[in-house]
Structure 1
Amino acid sequence: MYTNISFTCECGSVVEHMAFYPVFVADTEKEREEYQETELETECDRCGRPYQVLVKNNFYDVEIIVDNGEIRVEHTEPQYEESELDLLLPKESSQIVLFREQLNTVQLLVSAKVEEKAQYGLHVMLYSHLVASAEGYLYSTFTKFVTQHDSLLRKLVETDPEFSKQKFSLSDIFVSRETLKDTIDKYLKDLIFHNMKKTKEMYLSVLGFDFGHIPWFFRAVNLRHHCVHRGGYDKDGNSLNINSDVILSLMNHLSDLIEAIEVRVKDFDDEGNKRVTYR
């Protein structure tokens, strides 16, 4: 980081200096309020008088002190160097990167020129792929956070009815505790994440994310079933209403939902607790 400082030298000349100091990275509120100090030197271009510059900064602001505060100094708003921005910007998860790539692929293919007789078959496959891509994101994101954070793991065990059904003898308690993460991992792998009723409940009770009113997703899952198991036809042999407009509409719905989930899960700290949002 850097800020441009200026002050008046004893000789009357204005001293200007670009003061560089480390970016402040912190996770907790206590750490954000603590100051780090950087000592610098500058001198007057006119008379050569040296000056000691102390930069004190925390997460919120920066203070510039010249010669132990005996010199009145002004400074500009702090600026980030381009290489420092990676320290501040949240890393994109592999789950969201993959999902976006899958959406981009569908967008390219849905507008591709194919023979008319092959167009419906292509649309059926793309529709299925969209729903499967969303299911993959929902599974991998939920599993990643629950298995890596004990607080979220506990929420799942305490709120999922499946675990309340399980009974243990006293002799089994410690063994069950040691293998709990493996048990959870297997349980999640066996779940069908396009079961939207179950998925909605788990995301809300464990991750605190409310899917809201999503009848469009339930319809998409139903259509996907016909696409996968009946080749794009319903039980009566009728073709489904799937075309490029329907596919693009589903893409927009899924993108909005998944991106909202991604914002939510970025709020969790390393302990699985929701971060406090600051100005």
Structure 2
Amino acid sequence: MSYVSDYILFPMREFDFDPALENLFLSFDCIKCFERQQIELDIPDQENIVGDELTSEGMMFCKCGEEYYCKIFITPYQGYGYIDGIGSDYRITKLGTDGSFNEQQYEALIDDQYDAIVSNTEFYETFCAEIRSLRELNAIKLANNRADKALRRQIYIGVISSMETYLSDAFINTTLNSDIFLKRFVATFKDFKNETISLNKLYDEFEKIKLRCRQSMLEIIFHNLAKVKGMYLDTLGVDFGSIAVPSKAVTKRHDLVHRNGWTKEKDQIMVDNDIITDLIVDIQLFIDNIEDQLKKL
């Protein structure tokens, strides 16, 4: 199987990570035989970045014959990547370590991530503050044209990231703080539907149900708006309405991040002050509709 670095084959699973780590370990179940797969990627030193980003890539070969291509990108501010061949909502485990993968370290990372989310109980205020900052940045005009284009790209990406953070923090805080909503989540979350529990393990699983839900929520890609829309409706009774506009913006953000501002058809994506202004208005209205419904719960 051959790959062209300028293109990303679908389906794929995106993820992000701390670019300060030395190594990244990824683990997931093969889509064909369900055998556990693991890959280790060296993370290039950020000091070696020349231009916009550094990359690292690798292949996984399952015993059943399935192949998986993984690529990561490192910028001065973030690390992100994708695994080609698995869906966008497929569960993976990611871990940065000194060389050995173990569940204790993974659970510690989950706990840290969870603590950061539950500490953000004012998720709407956090979103609005971030949007105000991005609006102020958008008012800045840089003399260097290339630098100005890079700034517009980062602002656009920031707006979508702010939306994603709100959707994540609002859902997790609201659901885990209510037994009623937690029960609805367990009953309707599609990833749980194919799981079976033997009677002798029923009590143990009951004791761990909140932890299981917490881990599953943290592994959800919250810019997968079609999936997240269903979760909000099934669990909280919150209706997103049309997601056409934010979904289109998410797709555009994908090309800005993973193709450095080019589509897979090799068309350059234009992002200017007016486009960002319109995006901020659209995303603010989208989030305001959700927040208004959450306040009535």
Residue by residue, what CA displacement relative to the aligned partner does 1:203-232 show, whole Å, maximum 9, x if unpaired? 111111111112111111111111111221
Compute the RMSD of aligned alpha carbons: 1.4
Aligned 8 A contact 2:121 2:173 in 1: no
Match of 1:232 in 2: 261
Cα distance, 1:101 vs structure 2: 1.0
Q: For the residues of structure 2 that align with 1:125 and 1:237, how far apart are their CA atoms?
A: 20
Q: For the residues of structure 2 that align with 1:231 and 1:125, how far apart are their CA atoms?
A: 11
Q: For the residues of structure 2 that align with 1:191 and 1:225, how far apart are their CA atoms?
A: 17
The residue type equivalent to 1:257 in the other structure is F
Match of 1:104 in 2: 132
Q: For the residues of structure 1 that align with 2:246 and 2:185, how far apart are their CA atoms?
A: 23
Cα distance, 1:98 vs structure 2: 1.0
Identity %: 29
Unaligned runs of at least 5 residues, structure 1: 1-91, 269-279
Match of 1:138 in 2: 167
Match of 1:62 in 2: none
Aligned 8 A contact 2:130 2:162 in 1: yes
Residue 216 (structure 1) aligned with residue 245 (structure 2): yes
The structure with more radius of gyration: 1
Q: For the residues of structure 2 that align with 1:191 and 1:160, how far apart are their CA atoms?
A: 11
TM-score (normalizing by structure 2): 0.57
Q: For the residues of structure 2 that align with 1:186 and 1:93, how far apart are their CA atoms?
A: 18
Cα distance, 1:236 vs structure 2: 4.0
Unaligned runs of at least 5 residues, structure 2: 1-119
Q: 2:281 aligns with which of 252, 270, 273?
A: 252
The residue type equivalent to 1:105 in the other structure is S
The aligned length equals 177
Match of 1:169 in 2: 198
Cα distance, 1:233 vs structure 2: 1.6
Match of 1:155 in 2: 184
Match of 1:262 in 2: 291
Structure 1 segment 19-38 matched on structure 2, within 5 A: none
Cα distance, 1:241 vs structure 2: 2.4
Cα distance, 1:93 vs structure 2: 4.7
Residue by residue, what CA displacement relative to the aligned partner does 1:127-181 show, whole Å, maximum 9, x if unpaired? 1111011000000100001111110011111112221211001111111111111
The SS at the match of 2:206 is helix
Q: For the residues of structure 2 that align with 1:151 and 1:259, how far apart are their CA atoms?
A: 24
Q: 1:181 aligns with which of 167, 190, 210?
A: 210
Match of 2:63 in 1: none
Match of 1:197 in 2: 226
Match of 1:30 in 2: none
Residue 129 (structure 1) aligned with residue 163 (structure 2): no
The residue type equivalent to 2:233 in the other structure is L
Match of 2:89 in 1: none
